[in-house]
Structure 1
Amino acid sequence: MNSNAPHTDARLILLAPEDNCLIAAARLAQGETVEIEGERVTLAKTIELGHKVARHSLAKDEKVLRYGARIGHVNEPVARGEHLHTHNLESDYLPTYTHDAGHEFVPHKS
């Protein structure tokens, strides 16, 4: 570990160096202050265990990386320390099935 690297709260996990999100290793309460790469950030909302937090500010349409892979893009500007979830993060994965009317799943018969 680089002792000169800016400090990040131990409850926020960086999965890969190129990621722009961190993963909450504990439930973090609204109003709590955490440190992200040397900057103190007060959480606007509660972040649940396993949820994503912005590592730095993200511009609208910026790609979100987790484990170094693109998992989606933000649909609005996101501040450092903000919760990344379905309210501001859209998946870039293609659907493998549809729930549209007229499309019915029919299982394969052996």
Structure 2
Amino acid sequence: MIHFVVHEDGDSVGTVVVEGVTAGSPLNGWVMEPDHVIEMRTVSDIPIGHKIALKDLQPGDTVIKYGVDIGKVVAPIKAGEHLHVHNVKTKRW
């Protein structure tokens, strides 16, 4: 079963595509390009449609999704943690 989707290698986040992802759950993620599966364990509850960090990120780091910059980390994020507006902000303003 696939629990999250990553657009391409090099992305720092994936998107959860199932309900019920809870802290400590083992997850499978599909990396669409180049088509392979990765495994990780979540460290927090993550709602469907929200992002999961694929690696540890520090304040000031750039978040990459779809191979592009989608924002700046404003609080430390561990691999497997929920990544959302509480720890990432846009660089647009």
Query: Structures share a fold, TM > 0.5?
Result: yes
Matches within 5 A, 1:23-102: 23-35=15-27, 37-39=38-40, 41-44=41-44, 46-94=45-93
The Cα RMSD (Å) is 1.9
- SS, match of residue 14 in structure 1: strand
1:29 touches 1:43 (CA, 8 Å); kept in 2?
A: no
Unpaired runs of at least 5, structure 2? 29-37
TM-score, normalised relative to structure 1: 0.66
Alignment length (residue pairs):
84
Report the structure number with the largest CA radius of gyration: 1
- SS, match of residue 15 in structure 1: strand
Q: State, as a whole percentage, how many aligned pairs show the same letter.
A: 26
* Divergent runs of 4+, >3 A: 35-39
- Taking the aligned partners of 1:63 and 1:22, their CA distance within structure 2 comes to 14
- Higher strand proportion: 2
